Structures are given as structure tokens and as C-alpha cells.
Amino acid sequence: MAETNDFEPTHKELRATCAKLRGLAYLVEQCGDDPCPPPDLGEAFYGVGLILTQLHVELIAIARALERQDLKRVRRKEVI
């Protein structure tokens, strides 16, 4: 994800992030059914935390870019 103000979000970025969230949710749902849990649950939860943090960063970047797009539209309407 781009961190610049030039980032123009598309539905693809949002759908990709949502797919990652759904995959992570499925993984967590299925953890209880796994007959062989990870040997170090602390490391497993740390990894899940890292993934969730990255997803949060992606969603915030998309939200900020959408807000900038909305502001540009409003400013254009005020100028015209």
C-alpha cells in the first residue's frame, strides 16, 4: 500500500484486504478443531497480531484515501 497522498484506492484493494480478514477469521475459527495445536501459542498469537496490525494499516490507508477523494469532490463542487 502506498503511503503517499497520491494513493487512489480501488475496489480491488478493499476486496483484497477483506479477503485477508476473512481468511484470518476462518483460520481462527478452525483452530479449535485442530488436533495438533501449534507448539508455542504465544508465537502463534504474536503472528496473528502482526497480520491484524498490517490489515489495520491497509484499511486506514484506504479510508484516508477515500476521505481525500470525497474532499476533492466537495471542493470541485464549491469552485464550480
- The secondary structure of the chain as a DSSP string is ---STT----HHHHHHHHHHHHHHHHHHHHHTT-SS--S-HHHHHHHHHHHHHHHHHHHHHHHHHHHHHHHHHHHHHHH-
Given pLDDT bands bounded at 50, 70 and 90, which one contains residue 8? confident
Answering whether pTM is above 0.85, one says no
Choice between 55 and 8, residue whose per-residue pLDDT is larger: 55
Residue 3 has pLDDT above 60, yes or no: no
Given pLDDT bands bounded at 50, 70 and 90, which one contains residue 2? very low
pLDDT tens for residues 36-67? 777 787 888 888 899 999 999 999 998 898 89
